Each structure stands twice: as structure tokens, then as C-alpha cells.
Amino acid sequence: MNYGGGKTKTINIKEIIKIVHHKEVGDFLESIIKLEKIEEATCNICGTKVTPENFKALVRKSGKILFCCNKPGCYKLFIETLRK
């Protein structure tokens, strides 16, 4: 709120969100594993191996790829962690 009678400043932040169709998740995971030279994708929260069947999300943060499985509790913590 602006109580001083002046103009308020609006900040516009643009974020690019990339998505992967569920039919392409297997190929997507394989390419990420190869590009990042990691042994396998594991959930950053619970440590479960992430497969095309249980993949929920991934993000690059501080130069690392973080994966999340589809367990509701993991996804909730994953999102909360990203917002910090």
C-alpha cells in the first residue's frame, strides 16, 4: 500500500519455465543423466531413484540438477526448498 500519496513501483520478474510431455520423460531423463555425467537421477528429498513413472520435477540450482519424485511430501518440501 502507498500511504504517502506517491507512485508505487511495480517489479516485473519474468521466469522461463520449460516443460516436458509425459511421453518424453524417459528420453529427457536419459539425456540429463548423460549430459550431467551422473549415475542415476535420485529424488533430492527422499533419495528414491527417479524414473519416468515417478518423475515430478527438476531444477538447476547453484549449478546442480535437483530431481524430485512424485511423492506429495517430497514435492512439497522440494518447492519449499526452492523458495528459500
Residue 1 above 70 pLDDT?
A: no
Q: What is the rounded distance in angstroms from the CA atom of residue 58 to the CA atom of residue 24?
A: 14
Per-residue CA distances from 35 to 4, 31, 65, 66 (Å): 53, 6, 11, 14
pTM for this predicted structure: 0.74
Spatial contact of 51 and 30, defined as CB atoms under 8 Å apart: no
- Please write the tens of the pLDDT for every residue from 14-67: 767 778 888 999 999 999 999 999 999 999 999 999 999 999 999 999 889 999
Cell 511421453 found at? 23
CA pseudo-torsion sign 61, 45, 57, 52 = positive
Residue 81 above 70 pLDDT?
A: yes
